[in-house]
Structure 1
Amino acid sequence: MNRSVLSRIGTLTAAAVTMAVLVPATASAAVSSVRWGPCPEDVAAPGVQCATLKVPLDYRNPGGKTIDIAVSKLASTKPAKRRGIMLTNPGGPGGPGLTMPAGLRAAGMPSSVLDAYDIIGFDPRGIGHSTPVTCDLTPEQQVSNVPPYARDAAAVAERAKYVEVIAKQCGASKTAANLPYMTTANTARDMDRIREALGEEKLSYYGVSYGSYLGAVYSTLFPRQTDRVVIDSVTGPGGLDPVTSRRLAEGFEDRFPDFAKWAAARHASYGLGRTPQQVTAKFYDLVAKLDGGAVPGVDGAAFRMGTFGGLYATRSFPALAQQWQALDTEGTVKQTAQAQQIDPAQLLAGQLHVVCNDADWPEDVATYQRNVAKDRVKYPMFGAAGANIWACAYWPSEPIEPPVRIGDRGPSNILMVQNLRDPATPLSGAKEMRRALGDRARIVTVDEGGHGVWLSDENACGNNAVNRFFVEGKRPARDTACAADKGGFFASMTPEQRQEREKALDEVRSKQRMF
C-alpha cells in the first residue's frame, strides 16, 4: 500500500548543530556536571537547553563502546519552589523526546509543576539526535510496523515474506552492531546515567503510551532512585509485546462506539448513519466496498488502519468522518492537514529495534495464522491486524537478557492514569500493570475515550490528580474513578494558547503512534 495514500486517510507514522558536551558524574555527585548549550535547530524552543551524554552501548561492559544520548532541559525559574528533575518520554517506542519539555509546556503544564521541576527530555538510544539506528527502509516500506488486517491465512503468509525482508535489512544495516542493545532496560539505565550526571539523588518521571512501560521498567530496576512517577495510558507489564499487539483490536472496539455515537449525532453533516448501529454498519460496508476495488490504491485494510488512527483523539473525529464521507460518496481520498512528522524511517526502525529486542516473539507463521483466525472472530473490526505477523518473527538477534519482570518491590510512589476507552493501550493492559506493581501504584481511571489523560483531555479530575501528585506528593489513598467531565480544564487559555496547545498535542501524538 502506498505510504502517501495511507497517510491521507489518517495513518500517522510517527541537524547539523553541534550539541554541548555532558560529562557523566558519579552517583555521589552533589552538583550537576552538565555544560548546557543551544539545542539543534529542529528542536530549539525558548528556555530549553540541550547537551549530550556518553553512555555504554552494553551495560554488561561499561568500559567498552559508548553511544550518545541527547538531552534537553526546561529549567524551573523558581529556585525556592524547585524540588528536583522530571524525566519525560512521549512513547512510541521510537518517539524522540528532546521536544517533550517544550511540548508539555505548550500543552498546558501548570506553572506549579513547571516551578517544581526541571523538565528533562531525551532522545532514547537509537533515536533522533542520540546515536541512531537504521533498517534502510525504502519509501514503500515506511508504512507501519503494526501489520495490516489479514483476510485469511494466505495474507499472513504474504505479510511474513514482507517483514522477513525488513528484518534482514535491519540486521545488515550500517548500525547492525548496535542492534541487540536497543532495549527498554538499557534506555532505563541511560535514564539513570542522566540522573547521575545531573547530580540528583532521585528523579521524577512522566511517560505516556510506551513511555508508561519505560517508567515501570525504570521503577523496577532503580526503585531507590524514583521520586514521583506518573505513567499515563498504560501498556501491560510486557510493554509492546505480542499480547499488547493483539490488544490493539480490543482497544479499537472499546473506543469505536464513541465515534459511532458522535457521527450519528451529526448525520446531517456526514451522512454516515442516524444511529450508532448504522454508523457501525457503514464501517463494514466501506470495508467491503474498498476490498472490492471501489477506490484505487485503498483497500479495506488501509481503511481499518486509518480509522484506528482517527480514534486516538476526539478532536480527530471530524477529519475521520470527512474521510469516510469522501470514500463513500465520492470514491476519493480526502486531503487533510497533517502534523509535522519526524522521519518515518527513523521512527519505524527505532521502534522495531526496541519491540523486537524486548520480547521473544513467535517465529513460526502458523502461530500468527491461528491467532489471526481467532481474533478475526473475537474482534472483527481490527483483530486480524493486531494478531498479524511482525518483523520480530525474523529478528536477527536473540534478546541479550530476559524481559524485566515488573514487580511490587519499592516505594509506593507510582500514579497511573488511564482512560476507560483507549484505542492503543486499552484498560485491560493497565489493569494487568496495576496488579504487577501491587502496592507501589494507585490507578485513576477516567470515563473518557482516546489516548492520553494528563494535558491531553480536559477532564478536571484526571488532570488534577496528576498535578496534585507532582506538586504536593498526594495520591488517592486507593484506586479512584473519575466521571466523564469536559469541565473546561483549559478554559482560561487564550485562543492563541489553545491553538498552540493543540499543535503541541498533535506533535506528541505523532510520536506515540504504534504504526
Structure 2
Amino acid sequence: MTTRRVRTSLAASASPSVSASPSVSATPSVSASPSVFAFSLSLAALASAALVASAGPAGATGNATGGRLQWGECPAAVKPVEGQRCAGLSVPLDHADPNGPRIELAVSRLASTRPEARRGTLLVIPGGPGSSGVQRLAQKGAALAKETGGAYDLVAFDPRGVGGSTKARCGLAEQDRWMVTLRSWPGDDGSIGANVERARRIADACARDGGPMLRGLTTANQVRDMELLRLALGEEKLSAWATSYGTYVAARYAQEHSGRTDRWVLDSSADPDPRRVAYGWLADMAKGAEDRFPDFAAWASHPDRAAEGLRLADTPEAVRALVLDLAARLDRAPRATAVPGAPLTGAAFRQALQVALYSDGAFRGFARLAAQALDPRGVPVLPPELSGAMPDEAAAVTVGVICNDVDWPRSVPAYSRAVAADRVRHPLTGGMPVNITPCAFWKGGAVEKPVRLTDEGPSNILMIQNLRDPSTPHSSGLQMRKALGDRARMVSVDRGGHGVYLVSAGGAGNACGDRTVTRFLVTGERPATDIRC
C-alpha cells in the first residue's frame, strides 16, 4: 500500500530564516558533536564532529518557501552519496510564537530510484543530542536504500543547533570544551570539587551567552520541527529509523502524533521514565560499561592478539585487572602524549575505554593505547575525540538539550555520595556517570515538563537492542518496551556495542536483526512476540 501524499501549505516556512534576536545565528559552523552527557557517541559521528566543517543551510541551493522544500546540491562537507540532495527548512525559534524569529534546519533527501516500489518517506533520526541527521544519511543512506529496495524516499535533518542548522553558543572557555573535562570525571581521589566549579562556570556562561536559541534546544521542539518537516514533505504519514537518543525523539513524536506514523523502528533505546530522562541515561552508562567490557576482555586476551602486541593478558579476568590498575596508575602519574598539553590521565584513559566499547572495531585502538601506556618508552597516541576541544556550538547543544529537557538534582553533597558509591560498584567508569553536570546549576530549569510515554496508539513500532550495549543497556531498553506496551515488539540481539541495524556494511552486524527490521520496513511484517537473535 502506498502512503498517500498530501499538499499542505506550510505558512511557517513562507519567510526566509531571519531572526529578530542577535542570539540567533545562521552562520556556518563546525558540525555538532554527539552528546557528551547523554548517550550517542558513534565513532563516525565523532569524526564528523571533530573534522568536518559543515556549511549552514545557505550552503545548499534549495530552501523551503511557501511550504515546499526546494532540493539542490549538498555542501561538499556533507560528503553526500550519489543522489543525495539538500534543502533548508524555516521553522519558528519559538513554536508558541509562529510569527516571531525564525531559524533554519538543514534537510537532506535520498529519493527512491524505483517509483513503482515507493510507498512513502522514511525519516532517519540521529542520536545525540548533537548528532547530524544529514551526515548520518550520507553515511547510511546507500545501505538503507539497498536494504529497503527503493520502498522509501530517505530523509534526514540536522536538529536545531546541529551541523548545518542554526547554532547556539555558550561562549565556553577552551579548557571546558574538552570531552574529558566537559564530562564530569571525578578527581583521582573521587573528589568532585573541580567538577562543581566547572559545572557552575559552564551553566553561568550558557545563561549569559545562550539566549533564546539555547533555550530553544529541547526534545519537544525537535518533535515539533519534525511535524513541520512532514508537512513540508507533503506526506500524510512518515516511517522512521531512529537510533540512540533519536529513539526518545521518535517515541515522543509517536506519542503526540500517533496518527502520522507508519512503520517506526527504535534502535538502541533508553529508559523514557520522566524521572530518569537525561540524568538516568547518563547514570546507566556505568551498568552499560560493565555489561559490555567482557567482550573487550575476551578480545584482548585472545591468542590472536599476540602477533600485534595487543594481547594485554592471558585471561579476560586479567585484562580487567590490568585496565583498572593502569587507570589508577595514570591517576597518580599521567603520561605525556603525542598531543602537547593533553596528558593521558586516568580519566582520559577511562574515557577512551568508554568510547571504544561502542564498537568492536574500536577495540584495537584502545588496546594499542593501553600497550603504549604500559611501555615506559612509549608515547601514547590519543584517539581523535580526546585530542582537542569541541567547538563551542557542539558543547552548547549537548549541554543545552539535556539541561532544558528536565530538572536535574541540585544537591552537591548528594552527587558526592553518589560518586563514592558508584566508584565502588562500577570501577570501570570511576563515578563519572552519576557526577554533577552543568544541569545542576541551570538557570531557569527545564523549559517544559517531560512527558510520560504510554501504550496508547497504533501497534506499529519495532524495537531492536543489543544485549550488551555500553550506552543504552538492554535493561533500559526493556523500560522503553514496557512503556510502549502492545504498541511495540522487541528484538534482542546477542552482541555488544551501541547501534544494531546496518551497523556495518561489511557484515560485522547481526543478520537476524537486520532481516527482521528490513522485513518490517518493506512488508510491514513484524514478529508476533518479542524475539531474540
Q: TM-score range by the shorter chain?
A: 0.7 to 0.9
The yes-or-no answer on 1:430 pairing with 2:481 is no
Matched, 1:182 2:217: yes
Write the distance in 2 (CA, Å) between the matches of 1:350 and 1:427. Answer: 26
> How far apart are residue 180 of structure 1 and its match?
1.9
What is the one-letter code of the residue matched to 1:195? R
Q: Distance in 1 between matches of 2:93 and 2:199?
A: 26
CA distance in 2, matches of 1:10, 1:295: 27
Q: Which runs of 5+ in 1 are unaligned?
A: 1-5, 26-32, 483-515
Q: Is residue 263 from structure 1 mapped to residue 300 from structure 2 by the alignment?
A: yes
Does the Cα contact within 8 Å between 1:10 and 1:320 map onto a contact in 2?
Answer: no
Give the percent of matched residue pairs that are identical in Structure 1 and Structure 2.
Answer: 42
SS of 1:76's equivalent in the other structure is coil
Aligned equivalent of 1:320: 366
Structure 2 residue runs of 5 or longer lacking an equivalent are: 1-35, 50-54, 337-342
Residue matched to 2:282: 245
Q: Give a deviation string over 1:150-183, Cα, whole Å, max 9, x none.
A: 4556x2122010111111111222x412222210
Match for 1:124 among 155, 159, 177?
Answer: 159
Q: Structure 1 residue 42: deviation in Å?
A: 1.2
1:24–1:86 Cα change, 3 Å: farther
2:395 maps to 348
Superposed counterparts of 1:355-370, under 5 Å: 355-370=402-417
**Residue number among 111, 131, 134 corresponding to 2:169 in the alignment:** 134
**What pairs up with 1:357-396 in 2 under 5 angstroms?**
357-396=404-443
Map of 1:398 onto structure 2: 445
Question: 2-side partners of 1:130 and 1:415: how far apart?
Answer: 29
Query: Which range moves more in the overlay, 372-381 or 119-128?
Result: 372-381
Q: Distance in 2 between matches of 1:392 and 1:62?
A: 28
Q: CA deviation at 1:333?
A: 4.4
Q: Which amino acid aligns with 2:266?
A: I
Answer yes or no: is the 8 Å Cα contact 2:214–2:396 preserved in 1.
no
Q: Distance in 1 between matches of 2:297 and 2:277?
A: 28
Name the residue aligned to 1:291: 331
Q: Which residue of 1 aligns with 2:516?
A: 465
Q: Match of 1:444, SS?
A: strand
Could you say if the C-alpha distance between residues 44 and 325 of structure 1 is closer, same or farther in structure 2, counting changes exceeding 3 Å? closer
Match in the other structure for 2:63: 21
Inter-partner Cα distance in structure 1 for 2:390 and 2:332:
33
Deviation at 1:142, TM superposition (A): 1.9
CA distance in 2, matches of 1:425, 1:178: 29
Which residue in the other structure is 1:496 paired with? Answer: none
Tell me if 1:68 matches 2:104.
yes
> Secondary structure of the equivalent of 1:389?
coil
- Distance in 2, matches of 1:133 and 1:356, equals 14
Q: Tell me how far 1:400 sits from its aligned partner.
A: 2.4
Whether the aligned pair in 1 keeps the contact of 2:60 and 2:72 (CA below 8 Å) is: no
Asked whether 1:308 is paired with 2:324, we answer no
Alignment of 1:467-482 (within 5 A): 467-482=518-533
RMSD of aligned Cα (Å) = 2.5
Distance 1:326 1:408 in 2: 51
TM-score (norm 1): 0.85
Map residues 52-201 of structure 1 onto 2, 5 A cutoff. Answer: 52-106=88-142, 108-109=143-144, 111-113=146-148, 115-144=150-179, 145-152=182-189, 155-173=191-209, 175-201=210-236
Cα distance in structure 2, aligned partners of 1:207 and 1:454: 10
Deviation, structure 1 residue 294: 5.1
Paired residues of 1:295 and 1:332 also in contact (CA < 8 A): no
Is contact 1:150–1:384 with CA below 8 Å preserved after alignment? no
Cα distance in 1 for partners of 2:452, 2:188 equals 35
Kindly indicate whether the alpha-carbon contact (under 8 Å) linking 2:238 and 2:261 is maintained by their aligned counterparts in 1.
Answer: yes
Change over 3 Å in CA distance of 1:167–1:78 after alignment to 2: same
Q: Structure 1 residues 161, 115: CA separation in 2 closer, same or farther (over 3 Å shift)?
A: same
Counterpart of 2:8 in structure 1 is: none
Q: Distance in 1 between matches of 2:136 and 2:88?
A: 16
What is residue 25 of structure 2 aligned with on the other side?
none
Preserved CA contact (<8 Å) 1:149 1:383: yes
Contact 2:282/2:433, CA 8 A, preserved across alignment: yes
Contact persistence 2:169–2:214 (CA under 8 A): no
Secondary structure in 2 aligned to 1:381? helix
CA contact (8 A) 2:238 2:260 kept: yes
Cα distance change, pair 376–341 in 1 and its aligned pair in 2 (3 A): closer
Query: Residues 332 and 471 (structure 1 numbering): CA distance in 2 closer, same or farther, change over 3 Å?
Result: same
Q: How many residues align?
A: 466
Provide the secondary structure at the position in 2 that maps to 1:228. strand
Kindly tell me: are residues 216 and 146 of structure 1, through their superposed partners in 2, closer, same or farther at Cα, counting changes over 3 Å?
farther
Q: What SS does the aligned partner of 2:150 have?
A: helix
Q: 1:213 aligns with which of 248, 251, 271?
A: 248
Aligned equivalent of 1:488: none
CA change 1:198–1:228 in 2 (3 A) is same
- Contact between 2:178 and 2:390, CA under 8 Å: does it hold in 1? no
**Aligned partners of 1:333, 1:249: CA distance in 2, in Å?**
29
Amino acid at match of 2:171: D
Write the mapping of 1:219-238 to structure 2, written as runs, cut at 5 A. Answer: 219-238=254-273
CA positional deviation for 1:240: 5.2
Task: For 2:60 and 2:509, locate their aligned partners in 1 and report how far apart those are by CA, in whole Å.
Answer: 39
CA spacing shift, 1:329–1:11, aligned 2, 3 Å = farther
Equivalent residue letter for 1:458? G
How far has the Cα of 1:228 moved from its partner? Answer: 0.8
How big is each residue's C-alpha offset from its partner over 1:79-107, in whole Å with a ceiling of 9 and x where there is no partner? Answer: 1111111111221111121122221135x
> Structure 1 residues 479, 341: CA separation in 2 closer, same or farther (over 3 Å shift)?
farther
- Do the aligned partners of residues 326 and 207 (structure 1) sit closer, same or farther apart at CA in structure 2, a change above 3 Å counting? same
- Pair 134,71 (structure 1): closer, same or farther in 2 beyond 3 Å: same
Q: Which residue matches 2:376?
A: 330
How far residue 19 of structure 1 moved from its aligned partner, in angstroms, is 4.0
Paired residues of 1:151 and 1:384 also in contact (CA < 8 A): no
Counterpart in the other structure of 1:278: 318
1:90–1:97 contact (8 Å) kept in structure 2: yes
Distance 2:417 2:452 in 1: 27
Shift of 1:24: 5.6
Match of 1:447 among 494, 499, 514: 494
How far apart, in 2, do the equivalents of 1:388 and 1:89 lie? 29
1:261 match: secondary structure: helix
Deviation of the 1:348 alpha carbon? 2.2
User: For residue 52 of structure 2, what is the aligned residue in structure 1?
Assistant: none
Q: Distance in 1 between matches of 2:466 and 2:222?
A: 26
Asked whether 1:408 is paired with 2:408, we answer no
Partner of 2:73: 38
